Amino acid sequence: MAARTVFVAGAGTEIGKTYVTAALTRRLRGQGRPVRTLKPLASGVPPLSDPAFAESDTARLLDAQGLAVADEHVEACSPWLFAAPLAPDQAAVLEGRSVALADLVAWCRAQIACTEGTLIIESVGGLMSPVTETATGLDWLRELAVPALLVSGSYLGAISHALTARETLRLHGVPLLAVAVSESEGAPAPLSTVAAAIARHAGVPVFGLRRGDACPEALADLV
């Protein structure tokens, strides 16, 4: 049986997708539910031999799954890793490499087919960030045809960004399970205020998460 799959998309870049994804992974494991978490594309990643790799998104997701940072686990979680902190298509060019949407989608579909329980796929950047020379994160999500969990920040402007991403998903027929608002450092408004404002317009459950907090049970129950 194919895995129940959720695609974690961002309303922007560097807003806490990996924090939310890791927290959700830990909550599902705590519920005794089988879960596998992937970040197929990642840029700005140091070599595995560099101690700084421990701070990478891939390392954080492996830790949430209780997996050691080892070659086989890294490859199984993030087969496309790039060093430059740029969009994957740009980072790939600097290394003389490329990413094709067809390859990315085929790899993800293979993981869906062979995974039991829940499969979480974390995207890269924001919903409309390029993932290849011609495709965006939205194209990737549409090709996979799986529901999304949208992650927003709580910074000034986050409400508009979250609702714009939500409307984009709606217009493209992508099912949205929920919005997770990850608290932004130095945000001028309380997390609860931002989450409530998004909830008034989003039409789906909205959850606020502070760094270090556990994922709400109610959010995990939607996955």
Beta strands (DSSP E) in the chain are: 4-10, 35-38, 41-42, 80-81, 118-122, 148-152, 176-182, 206-209
Active-site annotation holds for 17: no
For residues 208 and 15, the answer to whether their CB atoms sit within 8 Å is no
What pLDDT was estimated at residue 3? 75
Q: In whole angstroms, what is the distance from residue 11 CA to residue 152 CA? A: 5
Structural domains in the chain (count): 1
Number of separate helices (H) and strands (E) present in the chain = 9, 8
- Given 39, 64, 74, 197, which residue is catalytic? 39
Q: What is the distance, to the nearest Å, from the Cα of residue 203 to the centroid of all Cα atoms in its chain?
A: 21
Can you read off the two tokens belonging to residue 16?
């806490």
**Average pLDDT over the chain, rounded to whole?**
95
pTM: 0.96
**For residue 65, what is the domain's CATH number?**
3.40.50.300
Domain range spanning residue 205? 4-222
Q: pLDDT per residue over 4-40, tens digit each?
A: 999 999 999 999 999 999 999 999 999 999 999 999 9
Total Cβ atoms within 10 A of residue 189: 16
- How far apart (Å, rounded) are the C-alpha atoms in residues 146 and 138? 11
pLDDT score, position 138: 98
110-168 confidence digits (pLDDT tens): 999 999 999 999 999 999 999 999 999 999 999 999 999 999 999 999 999 999 999 99
